[in-house]
Amino acid sequence: MANPAPKSALPDLTKSEAALHPQAYPAGEGHKPGEAAHFLQRIKLFSALGSDDCQHVVKRMRRRDFPPATVIVREGAAGSSMFFITAGQVEVRRKDPNTNIDFLLTEMGPGQNFGEMSLLTGKPRSATVTTIQPTTCAVLEQKDFQELLMQYPRIGLALTTILAERVETASQQVGIEFITLSKMNFDPRVLSLVPQSMMVQHKMIPVAFANNRLTLAMVNPNNILALDDVRRIIKGVMIEPVVTTEEDFRKFMSTTYNELMNKNEPSGPSDAQQIASVSRQPENAIDLLQSEIIRDLQMTEDSSGITESKQEISAASEDAPIIRLGNSILGLAIKKGASDIHIEPMEKEVTVRFRIDGVLQVVQNLPKKVQLGLISRLKILSKLDISEKRLPQDGRISISMEGKPIDFRVSSIPAKWGEKICMRILDKSNTTLGLDKVVTHQPTLELIRELINQPYGIMYVTGPTGSGKTTTLYSALAEINDPGVNISTAEDPIEYDLAGVNQIQTNKDIGLDFARVLRSFLRQDPDVILVGETRDKETAHIAVEAALTGHLVFTTLHTNSAAGAFTRLGEMGIEPFLVSSSTIGVMAQRLARRLCKNCKEPMQAEDQVCEYMGLPPKSTVFKGRGCGECNGKGVKGRIGIYEVMKMNAELRQMVAKSALTEDIHKRALELGMLDLKKYAALLLLNGDTSIEEVLQVVSVQE
């Protein structure tokens, strides 16, 4: 067998099991019948041995030490030894044959063992066991064990009692693992996934839940009715049946179960309440979360798309585990509040990354084998052509989650190791939040409202990619959206659906660019126009003309500060006097991570920081300590930082005369404008965000 772990240089075990790890076995050497059971007796295989015989077995065991991240046994490799953990911790994983993903079955620690059946059968290992911490095991090898049986035939005889019970069950259950309930650690939340009545009815116990895979201990794993019942209450779950004895089951239900569940739910709630309580658990158990997600996530493919894509579905993508994998990625991203999902084929694996609060983080590395199926599945959902793999494509997925419509804007591009998929999550319900939820500073909010209620002119929103410009503009549009107002938007891409608004997707490939859409808008009697982005002279020019001919125009520009917009427009070749007369206001904005409300705590700002930020010396600011609510990060969600420059006669004159950006900025400050830094200082004092966040955001000003 491929066992990479080297033999320890430590001496073999001899006299007593206490030498293995004294603390692990309180019933050490010299115990008498009636005293606490010998540790070996807790292993099913040896449970019928007397204490003296246990000593004989222990003498044959050898101590082995494994550093962290060592594979002790590998799934599929030949087995020949039993391992009894005396210190440390290991994880047990098994490959799902459909997706080839390693699913975590359980973790084991001191007092637990694995591979006992290998002593007798030498069959391939059914799981991979890897150390998490430095781990010490007492190892019993097959050849030593066989010698022992020769020497003490009565040990072999005792073992047959145990084996007979197993053989009876195992003869029908080829390939199904046997577990001993008394040795397992149970999570009450996992237990509550299946109602007690159902557990009793079908003689089954949910023992572990990970990666949408439920390990179900069953007296009769062939009970299809039971499997169906579980699948009915946990939709989309993959069930891994393991066998347990009827006696074990009864013992468990009458003792351990009641203890655990009473501690957990003193009032004895209904099944539905139990399941609901599971789904309310904090995020520390992502796996449990997934079961909730799978319940919530209902794909709302529209019917026209289904018939079309059905014909195209490749065999790989309609595989149930692939569908669930796709669903759980989408669902998890929403639950975690991600803004983007990246599915990136690498040379040897497929990396899934989420952008959360502006930061990309790896969520999972999937085996290369799922790549084709997963990418095809996502492309089908997005109504993309799955046979086209050489050209970039754009699509969209619409789902509803907990009754809320959520769209994913999907883009696929051919990359070196296969098609890369990027999905932007567009939570359409966000737009109903309105400006007042986006802008927390009241005077700034009022200033923006004043600007967007002007009859005509252009308002520019500036900021780097991902600074929330679009969200601000949509919130603004939503606020002035009214049946009596004709609003048209030219977007690339359309990020939100706004009822009553004419939204046009630009398409460069067919020559439908911003400028062309904008020109056609002007023939459609619009009142308000939103241009996704002004990035060329032609678009800028038409937008200015539209503003000057009585339309209200919103658009975004790629500059750092509000005052920088004028320079940028000048560089695009727009005459300063046109800019000056058409602009009603310019906003710059950034997003900073918001401090976790649950764990933020006050601290005194350093003198340098106070000076830089224009705060009084020794100002009290806040920092996040990190808690369960924020996954220990101290930050949760994001908050906008705004700089709103409302034009007036004096500023217009400066713009018309092509004044320097710095001078315009300076004058606006004198006239009372809050710039990004000043706005950020307010957020600091208010405990909305931290110094680190603010410094990152405001230090990149022009």
**Rounded to 5 degrees, what are φ and ψ at 470?**
-60, -40
Alpha carbon distance 475, 555 (integer Å): 13
**Cβ of residue 282: shortest distance to Zn ion, in angstroms?**
11
**Cβ of residue 638: shortest distance to Zn ion, in angstroms?**
15
Whether the Cβ atoms of residue 514 and residue 539 lie closer than 8 Å to each other? yes
Buried b (16+ CB within 10 A) or exposed e, 532-553: bbbbeebbbbbbbbbbeeebbb
Piece of 131-139, 161-169, 200-208, 596-604 that binds Zn ion (CB under 5 A): 596-604
Angle of helix 246-254 versus helix 256-264 axis, rounded to 10: 40
Alpha carbon distance 405, 311 (integer Å): 27
Of residues 209-238, which lie at the interface with Zn ion (CB under 5 A)? none
Whether the Cβ atoms of residue 106 and residue 184 lie closer than 8 Å to each other? yes
- Whole-angstrom CA distances from 273 to 194, 285, 311 are 12, 18, 42
Piece of 192-200, 248-256, 299-307, 625-633 that binds Zn ion (CB under 5 A): 625-633
Whether the Cβ atoms of residue 181 and residue 248 lie closer than 8 Å to each other? yes
Could you say which of 91, 427, 606, 629 contacts Zn ion (CB under 5 A)? 629
Nearer to Zn ion, 16 or 598 (CB): 598
**Cβ of residue 634: shortest distance to Zn ion, in angstroms?**
6
For residue 209, give both structure tokens.
């839940």
**Cβ of residue 78: shortest distance to Zn ion, in angstroms?**
49
Piece of 40-48, 86-94, 113-121, 619-627 that binds Zn ion (CB under 5 A): 619-627
Nearer to Zn ion, 247 or 601 (CB): 601
**Cβ of residue 631: shortest distance to Zn ion, in angstroms?**
8
Nearer to Zn ion, 633 or 678 (CB): 633
Nearer to Zn ion, 48 or 627 (CB): 627
Query: Residue holding tokens 């591009």?
Result: 413
**Cβ of residue 599: shortest distance to Zn ion, in angstroms?**
3
Q: What pairing do the DSSP bridges indicate for beta strands 552-557 and 418-427?
A: unpaired
Alpha carbon distance 83, 62 (integer Å): 10
**Cβ of residue 456: shortest distance to Zn ion, in angstroms?**
46
Piece of 84-92, 127-135, 334-342, 620-628 that binds Zn ion (CB under 5 A): 620-628
Piece of 167-175, 454-462, 492-500, 599-607 that binds Zn ion (CB under 5 A): 599-607
Q: What pairing do the DSSP bridges indicate for beta strands 600-604 and 620-624?
A: antiparallel
Nearest CA to 491 out of 466, 473, 476, 478 is that of: 473
**Cβ of residue 570: shortest distance to Zn ion, in angstroms?**
46
Alpha carbon distance 487, 480 (integer Å): 9
Nearer to Zn ion, 6 or 632 (CB): 632
* Residue 297 in contact with Zn ion, rule: CB under 5 A: no
**Cβ of residue 690: shortest distance to Zn ion, in angstroms?**
12
Q: What pairing do the DSSP bridges indicate for beta strands 583-595 and 635-646?
A: antiparallel
**Cβ of residue 633: shortest distance to Zn ion, in angstroms?**
7
Nearest CA to 354 out of 373, 335, 372 is that of: 335
Would you give the binding string for Zn ion spanning residues 554-593, x where CB under 5 A is met? ----------------------------------------
Whether the Cβ atoms of residue 424 and residue 354 lie closer than 8 Å to each other? no
**Cβ of residue 62: shortest distance to Zn ion, in angstroms?**
47
Find the radius of gyration of the CA atoms of the chain: 33
Q: Break the chain down into helix, strand, coil percent, rounded to 5.
A: 40, 25, 35
Helix (H) or strand (E) run with residue 330 in it: helix 320-335
* Residue 630 in contact with Zn ion, rule: CB under 5 A: yes
**Cβ of residue 281: shortest distance to Zn ion, in angstroms?**
17
* Residue 598 in contact with Zn ion, rule: CB under 5 A: yes
Strand order in the sheet with 583-595: 502-505, 487-491, 528-531, 552-557, 457-462, 583-595, 635-646
Nearer to Zn ion, 445 or 630 (CB): 630
Extended beta strands in 382-470, E state: 393-401, 404-415, 418-427, 457-462
Piece of 180-188, 211-219, 383-391, 628-636 that binds Zn ion (CB under 5 A): 628-636
Of residues 262-281, which lie at the interface with Zn ion (CB under 5 A)? none
* Residue 595 in contact with Zn ion, rule: CB under 5 A: no
Amino acid identity at 130: T
Would you give the binding string for Zn ion spanning residues 406-445, x where CB under 5 A is met? ----------------------------------------
Piece of 125-133, 188-196, 309-317, 597-605 that binds Zn ion (CB under 5 A): 597-605
Strand order in the sheet with 102-108: 71-73, 128-131, 90-95, 102-108
For residue 524, give both structure tokens.
């459609």
**Cβ of residue 689: shortest distance to Zn ion, in angstroms?**
14
Nearer to Zn ion, 93 or 638 (CB): 638
Q: What pairing do the DSSP bridges indicate for beta strands 238-243 and 213-218?
A: parallel
Number of residues that bind Zn ion (CB under 5 A): 6
**Cβ of residue 624: shortest distance to Zn ion, in angstroms?**
6
Chain position whose Cβ is nearest to Zn ion: 596
- Collapse the DSSP code of 442 into the 3-class scheme (helix H, G, I; strand E, B; otherwise coil) and give the result: helix
Could you say which of 627, 669, 685, 695 contacts Zn ion (CB under 5 A)? 627
* Residue 637 in contact with Zn ion, rule: CB under 5 A: no
Nearer to Zn ion, 92 or 683 (CB): 683
Could you say which of 599, 645, 674, 676 contacts Zn ion (CB under 5 A)? 599
Nearer to Zn ion, 57 or 599 (CB): 599
**Cβ of residue 635: shortest distance to Zn ion, in angstroms?**
8
Peptide bond into 493 cis (omega under 30): yes
Count how many Cα atoms sit within 13 Å of the Cα of residue 586 in the half-sphere of its side chain.
Answer: 31
Nearer to Zn ion, 41 or 598 (CB): 598
Nearer to Zn ion, 370 or 596 (CB): 596
Whether the Cβ atoms of residue 272 and residue 233 lie closer than 8 Å to each other? no
* Residue 596 in contact with Zn ion, rule: CB under 5 A: yes
* Residue 635 in contact with Zn ion, rule: CB under 5 A: no
Of residues 129-158, which lie at the interface with Zn ion (CB under 5 A)? none
Alpha carbon distance 232, 234 (integer Å): 6
Alpha carbon distance 15, 335 (integer Å): 55
Nearer to Zn ion, 168 or 601 (CB): 601
**Cβ of residue 623: shortest distance to Zn ion, in angstroms?**
11
* Sites of contact with Zn ion (CB under 5 A): 596, 598-599, 627, 629-630
